[in-house]
């Protein structure tokens, strides 16, 4: 066993201490704004001052969220997916730090990792392992991953949850919801409150690794021989420890700097997996965060985290496919009626106005090749943001419970595809895997 002499706490356990760190974000923005105004009055270049303030804000935001881990970091990682929606003057200083936060965090001391293994797997937990590196291979919001080898020679990833992660996540998300109004300037208008609220609903499921293990094992069995996907088999699990196959590969976000062909193939595989999971395995992978996806040495897509999922034994809702097809056909009256039947209409809305609002979202499926990029994503974000103003179309719509996790996967997926700057025949994926979409 490889060991280190790490010391110190894993998560700042005091709710008051964590709240104080989160409160430092808006307070820091206010202080920098005051200092910046003073510099401008003294003759400093306004654009340079503004750029420096945004860079300092990005540094503080993602340092605090990353160091706190728990719900704070999980919220930051979710926010990082939506970088493509931010205006360029905000996105530019955030981009590098956002990518870092997508798959990195300060590690848990090895002594605490071993304590969790003893508590979850028993005092003789080492009997199953020929080797386990106690230096984490990756550290994220609620746990970290160690590389090991079972006694039969199988290379494995051992996922260990941070002690107190469940309590810290719930506390952080409550605090973030309180701070969304004053944190808004940090994020260019992204709806922080909705993101935090949706995450809070699923905290209990995500910190129970037995649920994750069941979903992952089901998908791994269903896709065992798939030519494009690799899903790690589960070997052992408890509420706070999950042992599964080690998947060798590089993060999906690394293809941003690759050739167009590589980016397009990775993007097509990514979309295909999100839509194919329900049909082939009865499971929707609900977390499109790019840190959960790897490009393997043979070019396949590895999917390594099933903390957020939905069981869909009959595949995605067929009404979803029919409604997208109806919108593509321009039948506004039928689309309005269908959305009302599914529970999407909260208040009266004109059919034509609704079709105009939704049309760009179905465009990627309506053309032979669609190009996702940041400019397109920002245009859609601006449209949606404007439609959420009082009296706007979006204020008259509702997301039914069945579609909440689908909406999260869809919206996050669009943002990731826009970051990849990818072009492909995405409509073909819907025709094959989305019930109700293909024409008879």
- Two tokens at 320? 């979803």
Confidence at residue 240, expressed as pLDDT on a 0 to 100 scale? 95
Confidence at residue 178, expressed as pLDDT on a 0 to 100 scale? 57
50 and 180 together in one domain:
yes
For residue 310, the cross-strand partners are 284
241 and 252 together in one domain:
no
Confidence at residue 74, expressed as pLDDT on a 0 to 100 scale? 53
Confidence at residue 380, expressed as pLDDT on a 0 to 100 scale? 85
107 pLDDT tier (thresholds 50, 70, 90): confident
pLDDT tens for 110-151 read 999 999 999 999 999 999 999 999 999 987 768 899 999 999
| pLDDT value at 82 more than 90 | no
193 and 221 together in one domain:
no
Q: What DSSP state is assigned to residue 137?
A: S
306 and 214 together in one domain:
no
The more confidently predicted of residues 81 and 338 is: 338
Mean pLDDT of 357-368: 89
**Percent of the chain beyond pLDDT 70?**
67
**Percent of the chain beyond pLDDT 90?**
47
Give which of 401, 218, 186, 398 is closest to 306, Cα–Cα: 218
Residue 196 CB partners (closer than 8 Å, separation 6+): 75, 173, 176, 177, 180
**Average pLDDT over the chain, rounded to whole?**
78
The more confidently predicted of residues 33 and 126 is: 126
146 and 215 together in one domain:
yes
432 and 296 together in one domain:
yes
183 and 237 together in one domain:
no
| Domain limits for position 389 | 248-440
Across 118-150, b (16+ Cβ under 10 Å) vs e yields: eebbeeebeebbeebbbebebbbbbbbbbbbeb
| pLDDT value at 33 more than 50 | no
Structurally, how many domains does the chain consist of?
3
Residue 125: inside a domain? yes
Q: Tell me, what CATH number does 219's domain have? A: 3.30.200.20
Confidence at residue 163, expressed as pLDDT on a 0 to 100 scale? 86
311 and 184 together in one domain:
no
Confidence at residue 357, expressed as pLDDT on a 0 to 100 scale? 86
pLDDT tens for 388-401 read 777 888 888 888 87
Out of 260-274, 382-396, 415-429, which region has the weakest mean confidence (pLDDT)? 382-396
Confidence at residue 48, expressed as pLDDT on a 0 to 100 scale? 52
16 pLDDT tier (thresholds 50, 70, 90): very low
Mean pLDDT of 6-26: 43
The C-alpha atoms of residue 191 and residue 216 are separated, in whole angstroms, by: 30
418 and 357 together in one domain:
yes
411 pLDDT tier (thresholds 50, 70, 90): confident
Mean pLDDT of 369-374: 94
The C-alpha atoms of residue 179 and residue 358 are separated, in whole angstroms, by: 30
121 and 41 together in one domain:
no
Q: DSSP labels for 52-69?
A: HHHHHHHHHHHHHHHHH-
Last residue of some domain: 245, 270, 301? 245
The more confidently predicted of residues 380 and 34 is: 380
pLDDT tens for 273-284 read 999 999 999 999
């Amino acid at each position: 066993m490889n060991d280190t002499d790490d010391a110190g706490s894993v998560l700042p356990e005091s709710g008051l201490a964590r709240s104080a760190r989160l409160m430092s974000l808006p307070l820091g923005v206010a202080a920098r704004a005051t200092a910046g105004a003073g510099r401008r009055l003294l003759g400093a270049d306004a654009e340079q001052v503004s750029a420096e303030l945004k860079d300092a804000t990005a540094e503080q935001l993602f340092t605090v969220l990353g160091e706190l881990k728990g719900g704070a970091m999980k919220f930051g990682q979710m926010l990082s997916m939506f970088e493509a929606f931010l205006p360029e003057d905000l996105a530019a200083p955030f981009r590098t730090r956002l990518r870092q936060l997508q798959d990195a965090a300060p590690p848990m001391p090895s002594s605490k990792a071993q304590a969790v293994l003893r508590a979850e797997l028993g005092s003789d937990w080492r009997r199953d392992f020929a080797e386990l590196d106690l230096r984490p291979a990756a550290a994220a919001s609620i746990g970290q991953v160690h590389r090991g080898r079972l006694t039969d020679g199988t290379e494995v990833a051992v996922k260990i949850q941070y002690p107190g992660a469940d309590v810290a996540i719930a506390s952080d998300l409550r605090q973030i919801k309180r701070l969304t109004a004053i944190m808004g300037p940090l994020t260019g208008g992204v709806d922080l409150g909705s993101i935090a609220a949706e995450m809070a609903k699923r905290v209990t499921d995500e910190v129970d690794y037995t649920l994750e293990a069941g979903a992952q094992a089901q998908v791994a069995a269903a896709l065992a021989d798939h030519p494009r996907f690799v899903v790690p088999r589960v070997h052992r699990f408890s509420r706070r420890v999950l042992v599964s196959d080690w998947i060798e590969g590089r993060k999906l976000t690394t293809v941003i700097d690759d050739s167009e062909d590589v980016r397009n193939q990775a993007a097509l595989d990514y979309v295909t997996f999100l839509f194919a999971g329900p049909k082939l395995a009865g499971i929707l992978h609900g977390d499109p965060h790019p840190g959960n996806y790897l490009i393997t040495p043979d070019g396949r897509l590895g999917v390594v985290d099933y903390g957020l999922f939905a069981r869909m034994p009959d595949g995605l809702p067929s009404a979803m496919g029919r409604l997208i097809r109806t919108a593509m056909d321009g039948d506004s009256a039928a689309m309005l009626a269908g959305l009302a039947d599914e529970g999407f209409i909260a208040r009266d809305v004109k059919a034509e106005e609704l079709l105009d609002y939704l049309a760009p979202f179905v465009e990627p499926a309506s053309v032979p090749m669609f190009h996702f990029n940041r400019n397109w994503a920002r245009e859609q974000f601006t449209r949606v943001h404007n439609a959420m103003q009082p009296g706007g179309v979006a204020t008259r719509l509702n997301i039914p419970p069945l579609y909440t996790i689908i909406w999260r996967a869809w919206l996050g997926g669009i943002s990731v595809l826009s970051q990849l700057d990818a072009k492909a025949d995405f409509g073909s994926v819907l025709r094959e895997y989305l019930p109700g979409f293909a024409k008879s």
